[in-house]
Amino acid sequence: MIKICFFGKLSDVFVNRDYKILKNHFDVEVVEPPKSKMDWLKYPFTISKKVKKCHLTFSWFAGWHSFFAVYYSKKYCKKSIVVAGGFDVVYLPEINYGAFTNIKERIPSKYVLKNSDLVISISKSNQNELLEKIKPKKNILIYNGVPIVPISQNNTKKEKIVITVGGIKWSNLKRKGIETFVKSAKYLPDISFIVIGKFIDHSIDYLKTIASTNVKFTGYVTDEDLLSWYKKAKVYVQASAHEGFGITVAEAMLCKCIPVVTKRFALPEVVGSIGFFAKYDDEKDTSESIKKALDAPDIFCERASKRIKKMFPIEKRERKLVDTIKREI
């Protein structure tokens, strides 16, 4: 059996999904990024030993953790595959985001993306960002995927609720459009706006000072509770500055939420003609798009779900990943 050394943080849902896909077909050993300085000191030696014993390394994101995976893959003549997941190919200085915005992250990203045997892009937008900066040895597009069952089993009656999902921290207020979402609520005072996500730093205190009374912050929720929100809400908002794909948008659409998104990066690819578009960092325009989505007929909910089932089922990603790895070996 092909032995794969898998580099990635399994707490990231999309990374975990790929890990589960690969372990169903191959012998997979996981190496998560180090969490302490001491772990980082040991990391190169640990990776050297593990890469020697595998046939292929598979890494999520081009960064310091995958730098050593690719370096030792080259040294020991092993194949290396890297998924360019978003941050690692981004240059967005206006919000100080992206590996190519600072030299500390740019160095490992460039090395990994140039020297991997294969770079997998997760959207056309993500692929374009990569190719603008780097000429990889080989690059293919395999869209992210979402599990269709049980997420799509949704008979819950839709309510006039508007939600967004994202960790509550300073860097996400602009990048994920959380601040815009909160500010837009004042224009629709009779509608419930729900911000779903763990409180990571003190930015929650700021958000509460600008929030109108119709805004609720849930804090951390379980996967089951998140699914319940997806099923109840009629509208899902992603007012982001950047998305490499937009996995929560796809999950929400699968649960028949009508999407309201910015026309930036990969978001138009995910929503297609089903969604409503809002100007980035414009709460008034966002509220107007939300109003249109709330007033849209229920057929829009059905169309949103059908689009995700057709375009982004996890089974499609599974087939392509497995076939690709077999070809590379």
Q: Would you state the pLDDT for residue 150?
A: 61
69-88 pLDDT, tens digit per residue, is: 999 999 999 999 999 999 99
Going by DSSP bridges, is the β-strand pair 159-165/276-278 parallel, antiparallel, or unpaired? Answer: unpaired
15, 154, 289, 299 from 227: Cα distances, Å: 19, 10, 24, 21
Amino acid at 3: K
pLDDT band at 154 (very low <50, low <70, confident <90, very high): low
Residue 249 has pLDDT above 70, yes or no: yes
Query: What are the chain's domains?
Result: 3-144+313-328 (3.40.50.2000), 159-311 (3.40.50.2000)
Nearest partner of 8 among 24, 36, 28, 37, judged by Cα: 28
Q: Would you state the pLDDT for residue 34?
A: 94
Distance CA 161, CA 216 (A): 11
Nearest partner of 90 among 137, 118, 122, 57, judged by Cα: 122
> For the residues 201-206, what does the mean pLDDT come to?
98
Return phi, psi of residue 139, to 5°.
-140, 135
Element of type H or E holding 325 = helix 314-328
Phi-psi region of 208 (alpha: psi -120 to 50; beta: other; left: phi over 0): alpha
Q: Would you state the pLDDT for residue 149?
A: 74
pTM: 0.95
157-203 pLDDT, tens digit per residue, is: 899 999 999 999 999 999 999 999 999 999 999 999 999 999 999 99
Q: Would you state the pLDDT for residue 157?
A: 87
> For the residues 231-251, what does the mean pLDDT come to?
97
Residue 232 has pLDDT above 70, yes or no: yes
Residue 151 has pLDDT above 90, yes or no: no
Q: In what order do the strands lie in the sheet with 118-121?
A: 27-31, 3-7, 56-60, 79-84, 118-121, 139-141
Q: Would you state the pLDDT for residue 252?
A: 97
pLDDT band at 235 (very low <50, low <70, confident <90, very high): very high
Residue 152 has pLDDT above 60, yes or no: no
